[in-house]
Amino acid sequence: MQVHSQPVFAPHHFPSELDQLGDEIAELSAHLDAATARLLALIREFDTRGGWNTGFRSCAAWLSWRVGLDLGAARERVRVARALETLPLLAEALAHGQLSYAKVRALTRVATPETEARLLAVGRAGTAAHVERIVRGWRLVDRRAEARETAQRHAGRALHVYQDEDGMVILRGQLEPEVGALLVQALAAARETLYQRARVPDGDAGPLGVSAETPTLAQQQVDALALLAESALHHLDPGAPGERYQVVVHVDAQMLADPDQPGHSVLEDSARVSEETVQRLACDASRVVMRHDDNGRLLEIGARTRTIPPALRRALHHRDRGCRFPGCSGRFAEGHHLRHWAHGGPTTLSNLALLCRRHHRAVHEEGYQVSRGPDGTLRFRRPDGRPLPEVPLPAAVPGDPVEALRASHDSQGLRVTARTACAGWLGERLNVGWAIDVLHPRAQRPRP
């Protein structure tokens, strides 16, 4: 029997040529990792300074819109960028092309300032597969340590809801892990549809006083919880007594049409609501007209009607399929009148657009503007009047980006070669259990 073996090297190529090609791949990869470190530093600064807070729900959402990253990949970039702020050794290794982004991304899931040095040694010595296995084992030890505290957490579960003196509702509680995980996931989903308002210092405020301050996580959580409550009430069984769960706002008709006119806009408990908020709520709500005499006595009350009829709402959702604000992918959306019905705007498909709750607030209360052009497309503008395009302008790219990257690193004194990111692994078998026992603080046994 004759056996034909495959040639080791491709035809017409010598081993030295392929070695040079492999070295070029390795060198360029190290350059890209060093450039990624700079990119992450820029993302961290942009995130910290709130540059994304121009109508976008998060820095990841802005990256997805501006750079074209998948939203999940954008979130991971932001996570790693934030983590590296407290992990200078890993950040420096990435900036010098000594660790790949894949290794750094894995190590930042478990690294702390106390364990960073030993994990950096793992990254230098092992391959990316080794690092992933070490990280999985590290997290397993963490989970086992946490499991010993499960009984104590179960006994301490509680939730308290009460109202303070100025009417603010305070929640305080502890949830079991599975319940807490459910709540965290629900809040994370709800945050996709929320937008935060924040004020800049008076000296920096624009003509409309629009916020450019980064919203805190606590503020995002509060609005997310409000959306969860709204969604729960909205999806009640139609046969259930849902009327008692409605939030009712009383507003005078003349003030709804013109905020400068005298009038009142209050909740059932007499808490005042701003005119802009009332107009937002009235865009897509049930409406009941009541007539009062000069002394405030009720004379007549009409039937409840929907601002946007059900058939028109179905057509609106079929056309827009979610929030139309640039860069937003929120599916839970409200109908917005481009010209408010209280100002004479018709409740027609051409005068309506879907906006999620946070962007509906941005249009009514944050100074953003939206209109429909002659061609039927929506046109959004920032509070200062600048257009907010659906697709951002492409970034300028040099004619030879690879040489430009090399020249930039050379100017910084950064020397990158094909061996820069090579692991110190010599082919020996990885004993994950022994490695974790040596590296993980919780796995180390006290010495006699």
pLDDT, tens digit, 9 for 90 and up, residues 26-79: 888 888 999 999 999 999 999 999 989 888 888 998 999 888 888 889 999 999
Residue 402 has a pLDDT of 77
For the record, the structure tokens of 436 come out as: 């974790």
Q: How many CB atoms lie within 10 A of CB 157?
A: 12
CA distance 23 to 317: 54
Complete DSSP assignment for 48-105? HTTTTTTT-SSHHHHHHHHT---HHHHHHHHHHHHHHTT-HHHHHHHHTTSS-HHHHH
- The whole-angstrom separation of Cα 193 and Cα 58 is 11
Token pair 């796995």 is found at 443
CA proximity to 144, closest of 447, 448, 445, 443: 443
User: Which residue carries 């937002």 as its tokens?
Assistant: 280
pTM (global) more than 0.95: no
Q: What's residue 243's pLDDT?
A: 47
Q: What radius of gyration, in Å, describes the C-alpha atoms of the chain? A: 29
Predicted confidence at residue 145, as pLDDT, reads 61
For residues 372 and 386, give the distance between their C-alpha atoms in angstroms, rounded to a whole number. Answer: 16
Give SS3 for 299.
Answer: strand
Low-confidence ranges of the chain (pLDDT < 50): 1, 195-212, 237-245, 446-448
What's the pLDDT at 445?
A: 54
Gap between the Cα atoms of 331 and 337, Å rounded? 18
Q: If 0-12 CB within 10 Å is exposed, 13-18 middle and 19+ buried, where does residue 359 land?
A: buried
Q: For residue 338, what are the CA distances in angstroms to 258, 280, 305, 349?
A: 16, 11, 20, 10
Closest residue by Cα to residue 282 from 311, 299, 263, 305: 305
Q: For residue 209, what pLDDT is reported?
A: 40
**pLDDT at position 103:** 93
Pairing verdict, β 333-337 and 352-356:
antiparallel
- Are the CB atoms for 322 and 338 separated by under 8 Å? no
Q: Which of 96, 95, 46, 88 is nearest to 67 (CA)?
A: 46
